[in-house]
C-alpha cells in the first residue's frame, strides 16, 4: 500500500451537489426560472428581508457602557448570618462556602437587612454603614479587606504624573509669592 493509492472507505464520502450537471434535476436544475436566485452567485445577504427594515435595524441601539474591569460583589445580609452561624464565630468566604451560602470565593459585601444578636467576627470586602452598626451593636467586629486593583495603565500614569507636577508647580508659585 502506497500513499497515492489510498482511498476513503466506500460510502464514507458523498459528492457535493453541483447544479446544471447530469439528469434528475430538470431543465432549470432546481433553481426555478429567471430571478436573483437563478443567477450564478445569486441570493441575498444574511439578514436581508426583501427591502423591509431588517430586525437588526428595528430594535433600538442600547446606550451605556459596561466596564470590563467591574467587580461583582456577592450581597450578604446580616439576617442570614444570624440564622447560620453560632455565637462568636468567624465569618469569611471560606466559612460561607462550608455552610453553603456561597458557591465560590468572590468579593463579599455585607448589607444590613435583617436583625443580628450574635457576636460574629466578619471579614468582607465591603460593608454598608447600617450593617457595620448592627454587627458592632451585637458585640461583633467587621474587618474590611481591600480588593486588588488592576495595574495602572500607561495613560493613567501619565495623567497622574502630570497632575502631581501641576500641583507641585502651583505649590512652588505660592511659596515664591509669599516671600
- Three-class secondary structure of residue 40 per DSSP: coil
The C-alpha atoms of residue 42 and residue 96 are separated, in whole angstroms, by 61
What is this structure's pTM?
0.52
Looking at the fold, whether 123 and 155 belong to one and the same domain comes out as no
Number of folded domains that form the chain? 2
pLDDT band at 175 (very low <50, low <70, confident <90, very high): very low
Note down the domain range covering 114: 74-144
The Cα–Cα gap between 103 and 73 comes to 13
- Inter-CA distances, 132 with 77, 103, 104, 126, Å: 11, 24, 24, 10
User: What CATH code is carried by the domain that includes residue 88?
Assistant: 3.100.10.10
150 confidence band (pLDDT: 50, 70, 90)? low
Partners of residue 109 on adjacent β-strands: 75, 126
What is the mean predicted confidence (pLDDT) over 64-74?
Answer: 89
- The closest alpha carbon to 72, from 25, 107, 31, belongs to 107
Amino acid at each position: 500500500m502506497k500513499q497515492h493509492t489510498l482511498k476513503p472507505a466506500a460510502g464514507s464520502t458523498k459528492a457535493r451537489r453541483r447544479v446544471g450537471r447530469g439528469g434528475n434535476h430538470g431543465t432549470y436544475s432546481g433553481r426555478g426560472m429567471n430571478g436573483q436566485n437563478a443567477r450564478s452567485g445569486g441570493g441575498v445577504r444574511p439578514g436581508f428581508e426583501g427591502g423591509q427594515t431588517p430586525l437588526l435595524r428595528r430594535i433600538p441601539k442600547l446606550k451605556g457602557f459596561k466596564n470590563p474591569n467591574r467587580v461583582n460583589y456577592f450581597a450578604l445580609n446580616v439576617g442570614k448570618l444570624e440564622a447560620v452561624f453560632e455565637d462568636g464565630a468567624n465569618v469569611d468566604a471560606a466559612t460561607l462556602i462550608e455552610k453553603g451560602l456561597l458557591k465560590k470565593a468572590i468579593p463579599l459585601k455585607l448589607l444590613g437587612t435583617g436583625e443580628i444578636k450574635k457576636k460574629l467576627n466578619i471579614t468582607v470586602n465591603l460593608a454598608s454603614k447600617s450593617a457595620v452598626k448592627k454587627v458592632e451593636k451585637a458585640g461583633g467586629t467587621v474587618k474590611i479587606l481591600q480588593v486588588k486593583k488592576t495595574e495602572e495603565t500607561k495613560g493613567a500614569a501619565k495623567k497622574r504624573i502630570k497632575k502631581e507636577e501641576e500641583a507641585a508647580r502651583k505649590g512652588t508659585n505660592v511659596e515664591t509669592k509669599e516671600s
